């Protein structure tokens, strides 16, 4: 995929994640800036979601580690274990917030 296609896809992904966070009753602060979405929780935990242009991946950093996701068959999948980005984020957000979090759909 071209660089501009990757940027468009990841912009849409990050905006969709932001919308999903707005739709939930999770107590957190977030900032979307230049391809980086930073989530901050009352517990002190942080989750950073950003795009990595050279590898055309989405990277996630959390207390439990770092994760890389590549677009495969229309889904952002972990490059190591094949898990979906949304599945990992639901788990990480739930752990950091102490609340259940699910993406709609």
Residue 72, domain member (yes or no): yes
What would the DSSP string read from start to end of 28-54?
A: EEEEEETTEEEEEETTS-EEEEEEETT
CATH number of 47's domain: 3.30.920.10
Rounded Cα distance, 95 and 1, in Å: 34
Domain that holds residue 26: 3-97
Whether 100 shows a pLDDT value over 80: the answer reads yes
SS3 104: coil
Residue 105, domain member (yes or no): no
Q: Please, is 89 exposed, middle or buried when counting C-beta atoms within 10 Å of its C-beta (0-12, 13-18, 19+)?
A: buried
The count of structural domains within the chain is: 1
Question: What pLDDT, in 10s, does the model give residues 15-58?
Answer: 888 888 877 766 666 777 788 888 888 888 999 999 999 999 99
pTM of the model: 0.89
Is the CA virtual torsion 6, 8, 9, 14 positive or negative?
Answer: positive
pLDDT of amino acid 25: 64
Residue 58, domain member (yes or no): yes
As a whole-number percent, the residues of the chain with pLDDT over 90 amount to 54
Residue 103, domain member (yes or no): no
């Amino acid at each position: 995929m071209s660089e501009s296609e990757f940027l468009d896809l990841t912009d849409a992904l990050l905006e969709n994640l932001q919308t999903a966070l707005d739709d939930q009753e999770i107590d957190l602060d977030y900032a979307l800036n230049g391809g980086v979405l930073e989530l901050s929780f009352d517990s002190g935990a942080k989750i950073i979601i950003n795009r990595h242009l050279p590898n055309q991946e989405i990277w996630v950093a959390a207390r439990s580690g770092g994760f890389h996701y590549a677009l495969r068959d229309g889904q952002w999948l972990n490059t190591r274990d094949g898990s979906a980005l949304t599945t990992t984020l639901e788990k990480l957000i739930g752990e950091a917030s102490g609340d259940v979090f699910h993406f709609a759909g």
